[in-house]
Each structure stands twice: as structure tokens, then as C-alpha cells.
Chain A
Amino acid sequence: MGQVTDTLPRSREARRSPGPWRTAAGDLLRNRAALAAAVVLLVVVVASLCAPLYAAHIAHTDPFQSHVSGTTVVDGKTVPVLTPSSTGLGLGVTPIGPTWDPAHYFLGADNQGRDVMARLLYGGRTSLFIGFTAALISCALGTVVGVVAGYAGGAVDAVISRVLDVIWAFPVYLLAICLSVVLLTNGLRLGPLTVDAGSLWLPVAIIAAIYVPYIARPLRGQVLVLRNKEFIQAAIGSGAPVPRILRREVLPNVLPTALVFVPLMTALAMLTESALSFLSVGVQPPDASWGTIIEDGLGLLYTRPTVTIAPGLLIALTTAALNVLGDGVRDALDPGARLRGGV
């Protein structure tokens, strides 16, 4: 080693290493695709946060109230928001289509006469909230489980690994739907923790739980390798207590991998939430998410496709941005990190 440092230029040798986190941040800032993705995400997040402002001050509407007999103004003329449809079974209504006027149903109305644009912004809040919190909880839980299993070894590891195997062998959507169907009737009661059936925390808990093996498995593998490294052996030999070894020696080494998974998991969690909501076992009315809006739009698919297309495009845009950003974070922090499926 000594010889190698001697051949380096003096200035390089004298300068202190910037440390792994700062190097990674620098790498990320130089990654143009990741930066562009971050900007897209920022725009989506800010727009969603502004949903109440848009509803109250621009569209002047309450997107959670139906306006079955409401009217609006298009090109200076007053028109009804919903018109009884002349075709089909005669039971349906045709809502107003996109007017491209932010003050009057910019993207049209849904079958209850609610402003689709305002609902999209509110839906974005819900979808982003569920995706991000579920991903964070999943990554945190997965890290704890993976580190404990990998470090403890023996019977603890065997039990945890078998439990993870069982969850892993379940197609994720099936498991999520099973849990949702049961919990939606009665809510979740786990000791002191109570979650109401209609609460947004229910899909968060379900999605977070089903993806724990995705995080725990690769981290357990990393900890198994780390355990045999000299610095861990040295810490054990010097009599450091286990919690201290986990916190000071093991955790800092697996944290980059856990962080890499956050954006990728957020994308996965958002897709899962939207699928559950689409199957009406996710977000429950009166709350809206992008998935529930797509479901609302299904009956109008052939007459007012915007109601279905707009939220789907937003989901695709957001998850694509999260995936590109996630790739950037991975390249910067831990190029070898792989979620299930190698991507």
C-alpha cells in the first residue's frame, strides 16, 4: 500500500478524503438523468401539496362533494355538468369533458360531477403519501429484520428466514388483496395499535409488510459477509456489547444499500397502492388516490377517457422518475444493490 500512495501526486495525498456520503452526493449531482427525475418528482409533489389551493381559489369546487345537478360555464354559456346519456342502458350520465379552462372543469368531471383536475391533485397527495411512508417503513423494518437475522445467525436466523420465505412465496398482489379484504371490514387491531378500516394507514401497513422480504433478504446476505470481517471480530474481541456493534459497525455498512432501496420501493409501493385501489381494496372513499380515480373512470372509459388516462399517466410519470432517481442513487451509493428481479 505504501508504495502506491508514494506515487500519487502530493496535492492528492495531502487532501483529506471527502468521505463516502459526500462522494456519493457529488456523483448523484453529476448524473443528469437522475437530476431531471428529481425535478419531475419535485413538480409532482409541489403540485399535489397545492391541491387545496387549486380547489379553493382556482377551480372553486369541493372535489369530495358530488355535483349531480351542478352547472358550469363554457365559452360564456351555462351548461350542466352531467347530461343523461342517450345511448346505452339509459341509466348512465355523461359528464362534461375537458374544457382546458382551469376555473371550470379543466379536465372535465367524473360521473358524480366532481372536478377531475382537483381530484387528481388530491389523489396525488394520497398516492405519494402512501407510497413514500410504506417504502420508508418497509425499508426500516426490512433493515432491522435483515441485520438481526444476519448477525444473530443460528435459530433466530432460521426462524426469520423461514418466515420471509413464506411471505416471499406468496405472489405480492395476492397477499396484499387477502390482507386488505379482511382488514377493510374491521380495521386492524394489533395490541395498543388500532387502525380504522377507512384509514390511509391501512394500505400503508399492508404494503409495508408485504415488501419487507425484498429488503430483509439482501441485507441479511450483506450482514452474513460483514460478520466475518476483521473489524467486527475486533469489536467483538474488545468486548463491545452487541447493540453497540450493530449500531456502530454493522448499520453504517448496510445503510447505503437500505437507502438505495427507498426510491425504488416508493415506486413499487405506489404501483401496488394504485392496483389495490383500482380493485377497490385499497384507498376507500371519500379519500381519492390515482388508483381510485382510474376505477371511477372505468365506466366512462369509452365516453370520457380523460378520467382514466390522466391519473394513469401521472402514476407512470412519477414511478418512472422514482426509478430513474433510484438508479442514480444506486450508482452513487451501492452499484451492486439489487431488489428482487435484479433491477
Chain B
Amino acid sequence: MLQFAVKRFGSALLVMFAISVLVFLIFFATPGVDPAARIAGRNADPATLAQVRHSFGLDRPLPVRYLLMMRHLLIDRDLESFVNRGSRVIPQIVQATPVTLSLVIGAALIWMTAGLLMGTAAATLRGKAADPLIMLVGVVGVSLPAYWLGEVVNLITQKQLHDSVFSWVPPPGYVGLAKDPGQWALHLLFPWLTLALLYAGIYARLLRGEVISALSEDYVRTARAKGLSERRILLRHALRCSLIPVVSLFGLDFGALVGGAALLTEVVFGLPGIGKLTYDALQNLDLPVIMGTVLYAAFFVVLANALVDILYARLDPRARHA
């Protein structure tokens, strides 16, 4: 088991290294793309371009540039932005992380609760009217564009019904948890609900399928033969096994969201999180910031992947040799 965990973390490190090389190559080695021209502005003359190239170290060979950037990012921790000279990358990421964590943790609590309730209800009510209705909510959830839903929520809470029902909704933005917990929750309430709606349906559908197939397993028949109540069979036997795939999916989604997949929600609701930071950096081709945020994102996703695999191996010894 320990050996498996060590191996899994080793390959996770390799994947992160590969991702950093990939991002570096996308921005520095794509034919025809010149980061110096982007930094120097639209109509820079050749002398300015050469100067920019030299002052940003863009005239050195690729591998040297890669190693220098990684050294500044990981060892010296003083990598600076290309666009806002003097502003360091790591403090920016450290500052944005709590915003993204607040958004994702709150939304995750809501969507897991809603998904578990809806999925279990749909599985127990199979064949009744409530089942297709719950699943319809699920389809709608996966089909809505995240940013559009956010805009519509903004429209309703900030404009259409702002004078009546939603007068208590603050303007889009973020207030730190330590500063004012009440305002923090109030500012995040609608971003939480919006993000949660997109995920609750997926989890409800997944859980419904798992519970239904678990209910036809032999161990459920045995439990019935023992004379256990249906409620106990559902909660203690069927649901428990059905949760394994749900938890593993959750690990992956959570990792991706903390890593910046909540970008659209952050942009729409004006939350200065990791996704927003990455997006702004991408618009300016601010490579050091992009490198920092993408590596940070990859760290969470790869970590989540590795943890899920190890959890699986712990629960199911057959997975250790796959």
C-alpha cells in the first residue's frame, strides 16, 4: 500500500513537471508567437524589441529560460510579473487563494447536500413522477452555460427585483471572512448557489444510477432476508457502497475548481480569485503569472487525482495492480 502511494505521488510529480514544460512551450515555442512584441506594445521598433528581449531574458536559449523561471518561481520565490513590473507572482496567488477556496468550499457543501438528497430520492422513487422530475433538474444543470447563469442571477438580484425581493443583495465583489463573516457569506451566497446548481445535477444522476444498481446486489438481498427495514438497507448498505464513485468524482471536481475551473463564476461575480487572476494574466500574456497559476492549478488537480487513486487502492486491493 505504501509502495503504491509512493509510486502514485512520483508519477503525480512527473505530470506536474510535464505540465509546466507544456505551458512554457505553448507560450514561448509556438511558431510565430513573440512574447517580446506583446510586452513592448503594438508598434515597437526593432531596437525597443531587442531591449525588451534582453531585459526580460528572452534572448537566452529556451531550456535556460525555463530553468530560470522555475528557479525564480519555486526556489527564490521572487518571480515578477512581465506586465506590472515589480509585482511578485507568489503573493498574488496567496492573496487570491482564500477567495477561490471560499467560493468552492461553500458551493461544494451545497451541491453535495442537494446531490445526495436528490439522487437518493430519485432512486427510491424510481418509476414515480418525482424521479424524472429530479433527473430533469439534473439535465438542466449540466446544460446551462455557467457564465450566462451568473449574468441572469446578477440581472435578477441587482436590477429586476433589486427594489423588492432582493434589496438585501450586495453589489458583486468579495469581502474577506476575517473582516466581516456576515458580509462574506452575503456576497458569496449567489455565487455559491450558481456554482452548486451546475454540479448538483451531475451528482444526483450519478448517485441515482449507483444506488439503483446497488439495490439489486446480492448483499442487499441478504440484508432483506435478514429482515432489515428498507430504510436501513438503503442508508446503511446500498448508499454506503454507492458513495465511493461519488466521492472519487468529487475529489477530481474539487481539485479542478480550486485550481481555477471556477474562472467563469469568478469573472461574472467579480470575485478576485485564482481563476480571475489567471484570466487577467492570459489576456496580457503575462507569462510569469500564467506559469504560477497554472502550476498551482495543476498541483491541486494532480494531488486530487493521486488522492482519489490511493483512496481507491485502499478500498479495493485489486486497483493496486492495475
Q: Determine the residue in chain A with the shortest Cβ distance to B284.
A: A181
Give the bracket for the number of chain B residues in contact with chain A. 35 or more
B140 part of interface (Cβ distance < 8 Å): yes
Most buried by A among B32, B140, B154: B32
Q: Which residues of B contact A183 (CB under 8 A)?
A: 30
Q: Given A186-B33, A275-B146, A308-B151, are A169 and B15 also a contact pair (CB < 8 Å)?
A: yes
By the criterion CB–CB under 8 Å, are A182 and B301 in contact?
A: no
B177-230 with Cβ < 8 A to chain A = 202, 205-206, 209
Q: Determine the residue in chain A with the shortest Cβ distance to B210.
A: A342
By the criterion CB–CB under 8 Å, are A169 and B205 in contact?
A: no
For B267, give its contact among A162, A169, A279, A291 (CB under 8 Å): A279
Can you list the 7 inter-chain pairs with the closest CB atoms, starting with the nearest? Answer: A312-B148, A186-B32, A320-B143, A319-B143, A171-B261, A342-B206, A166-B18
Q: Determine the residue in chain A with the shortest Cβ distance to B202.
A: A343
Q: Which residues of A contact B30 (CB under 8 A)?
A: 182-183, 186
By the criterion CB–CB under 8 Å, are A169 and B26 in contact?
A: no
| Chain A 277-313: CB-based contact to B (< 8 A → 1; otherwise 0) | 0110100000000010010001001100100110010
A177 part of interface (Cβ distance < 8 Å): yes
Query: What distance in Å separates the Cβ of A297 from its nearest Cβ neighbour in chain B?
Result: 8
B288 part of interface (Cβ distance < 8 Å): no
B279 part of interface (Cβ distance < 8 Å): yes
B311 part of interface (Cβ distance < 8 Å): no
By the criterion CB–CB under 8 Å, are B245 and A162 in contact?
A: no
CB<8 Å pairs between A and B, sample of 29: A162-B18, A165-B15, A168-B305, A169-B301, A170-B22, A170-B298, A171-B260, A171-B261, A173-B260, A174-B261, A174-B263, A174-B294, A177-B279, A178-B23, A182-B30, A183-B30, A278-B145, A291-B145, A294-B151, A301-B154, A301-B159, A302-B159, A309-B152, A312-B148, A315-B143, A316-B144, A320-B140, A324-B139, A343-B206
A136 part of interface (Cβ distance < 8 Å): no
By the criterion CB–CB under 8 Å, are A170 and B301 in contact?
A: yes
B283 part of interface (Cβ distance < 8 Å): yes
Q: Which residues of A contact B267 (CB under 8 A)?
A: 279
Bound Cα distance from A298 to B245, whole angstroms: 39
A179 part of interface (Cβ distance < 8 Å): yes
Identify whether the interface residues of B are mostly helix, strand, loop, or mixed.
Answer: helix
Q: Which residues of A contact B27 (CB under 8 A)?
A: 178, 182
Interface residues on chain A, number (Cβ under 8 Å): 46
B142 part of interface (Cβ distance < 8 Å): yes
Query: What distance in Å separates the Cβ of B26 from its nearest Cβ neighbour in chain A?
Result: 6
By the criterion CB–CB under 8 Å, are B245 and A342 in contact?
A: yes
Query: What distance in Å separates the Cβ of A241 from its nearest Cβ neighbour in chain B?
Result: 30
For A320, give its contact among B139, B294, B298, B301 (CB under 8 Å): B139
Most buried by B among A274, A301, A316, A343: A343
B102 part of interface (Cβ distance < 8 Å): no
A179-197 with Cβ < 8 A to chain B = 179, 181-183, 185-187, 189
By the criterion CB–CB under 8 Å, are B145 and A271 in contact?
A: yes
Most buried by A among B151, B154, B260: B151
A323 part of interface (Cβ distance < 8 Å): yes
By the criterion CB–CB under 8 Å, are B279 and A279 in contact?
A: yes
Bound Cα distance from A4 to B146, whole angstroms: 53
B107 part of interface (Cβ distance < 8 Å): no
Bound Cα distance from A166 to B15, whole angstroms: 6
Bound Cα distance from A294 to B26, whole angstroms: 29
Q: Determine the residue in chain B with the shortest Cβ distance to A308.
A: B151
By the criterion CB–CB under 8 Å, are A171 and B297 in contact?
A: yes
A141-171 with Cβ < 8 A to chain B = 162, 165-166, 168-171
B155 part of interface (Cβ distance < 8 Å): yes
